[in-house]
Amino acid sequence: MKRINLLSGPRNISTALMYSFAQRKDTIVIDEPLYAHYLLVTNADHPGREEVIACMETDGNKVINDIILGDYDNEILFIKQMTHHLIDVNESFLEKVINLILIRNPAQLISSLALVLNNIQIRDTGIKRQYEIYKKLISLNLKPVIIDSDEILNSPEISLTKLCKALEIPFDNSMLKWNPGKRKEDGIWAKHWYENVHKSTCFEKQDTGGRKLPDDLIPLYEECMIYYNELSSQSIKVYE
């Protein structure tokens, strides 16, 4: 079995990418299995926090052993994760999965995140953790696959074809469309975070993508750009 471990930041197109992989007959997808663990460990104030903790396994290492490294009948397991959820867990599982890092321009990420969270810290963006994990994997000679959400949104078929090649799986045309609305794979937090993606049927740019970054978040943006530029330089490019 191929285990594709998506390491994304929030307010990216990670849920749409999960929906895309869910269209494949050879694939099962899992939505943010370490979310409750993260909320409990960090005491982060997220919408629906108590409900998430009550409904999910909060022991991160148990989640890794039973879910991420669990047994499945499908050929491919796609695990959608927020990178910053990997805290106080045994990260050796990263050596047993195919790691896919999904990045997004921090200006878009932060301005979107500001609509849902207050007092945003770099931890909330996930991008520093993405860079830390990238460096760790490189040190182990385990180069991850990196792709920018803008590449997917600009050229879905070409970018997904290249992505599948990098993951060493065949491209499936069914990945380009899905039905609108809630999905059985959605985490219980979907009602707080997935409103836009539930309206979608394919990869498409949102009108909100060009919203202005609040002035008080510019220092955070500048810090995030350091890590983003490093990761972007190693990402899949549609035209190259």
What pairs with residue 129 in β-bridges? none
In whole angstroms, give the CA distance from residue 108 to residue 88: 28
State which H helix or E strand residue 136 sits in: helix 127-139
Nearest to 70 by CA among 35, 97, 101: 97
Is the pLDDT at 53 greater than 60? The verdict is yes
Rounded to 10 deg, the angle between the 106-113 and 218-232 helix axes is 140
Query: Looking at the domain assignment, is residue 239 inside a domain?
Result: no
Query: Looking at the domain assignment, is residue 138 inside a domain?
Result: yes
Query: Looking at the domain assignment, is residue 69 inside a domain?
Result: yes
| C-alpha torsion angle, residues 87, 100, 68, 57 (rounded to 10) | 40
Say how many domains are in the chain. Answer: 1
Instruction: Quickly state the pLDDT bin for 31 (edges 50, 70, 90).
Output: very high
Is the pLDDT at 208 greater than 60? The verdict is no
Return the DSSP state at 66. I
Query: Looking at the domain assignment, is residue 11 inside a domain?
Result: yes
Nearest to 150 by CA among 100, 87, 105: 105
Q: What is the CATH number of the domain that holds 164?
A: 3.40.50.300
Q: What range does the domain containing 13 cover? A: 2-232
In whole angstroms, give the CA distance from residue 24 to residue 95: 25
More confident residue, 116 or 171: 171
Confidence at residue 154, expressed as pLDDT on a 0 to 100 scale = 93
Confidence at residue 172, expressed as pLDDT on a 0 to 100 scale = 97
Q: pLDDT by residue (tens digit) across 3-20?
A: 999 999 888 899 999 999
Is the pLDDT at 194 greater than 80? The verdict is yes
Is the pLDDT at 152 greater than 90? The verdict is yes
Going by C-beta distance under 8 Å and a sequence separation of 6 or more, which residues neighbour residue 185?
Answer: 18, 19, 22, 29, 30, 31
- The pLDDT of 187-211, averaged and rounded, is 83
Rounded to 10 deg, the angle between the 218-232 and 127-139 helix axes is 30
Instruction: Quickly state the pLDDT bin for 240 (edges 50, 70, 90).
Output: low
Give φ, ψ of 76 to 5 degrees.
-130, 135
Query: Looking at the domain assignment, is residue 181 inside a domain?
Result: yes
Query: Looking at the domain assignment, is residue 237 inside a domain?
Result: no
Is the pLDDT at 210 greater than 60? The verdict is yes
Query: Looking at the domain assignment, is residue 212 inside a domain?
Result: yes
Asked if 86 and 37 touch (Cβ cutoff 8 Å), the reply is no
What pairs with residue 148 in β-bridges? 103
Catalogue the E-assigned strands of the chain: 2-8, 27-31, 76-82, 98-103, 145-148
In whole angstroms, give the CA distance from residue 130 to residue 136: 10
- Indicate the length of the chain as a whole number: 240
Confidence at residue 207, expressed as pLDDT on a 0 to 100 scale = 60
Query: Looking at the domain assignment, is residue 57 inside a domain?
Result: yes
CA distances from 26 to 19, 77, 129, 174 (A): 14, 9, 30, 12
Report DSSP letters for 192-214, one per residue. HH-HHHHT-SS----GGGGPPPP
pTM, rounded to two decimals: 0.93
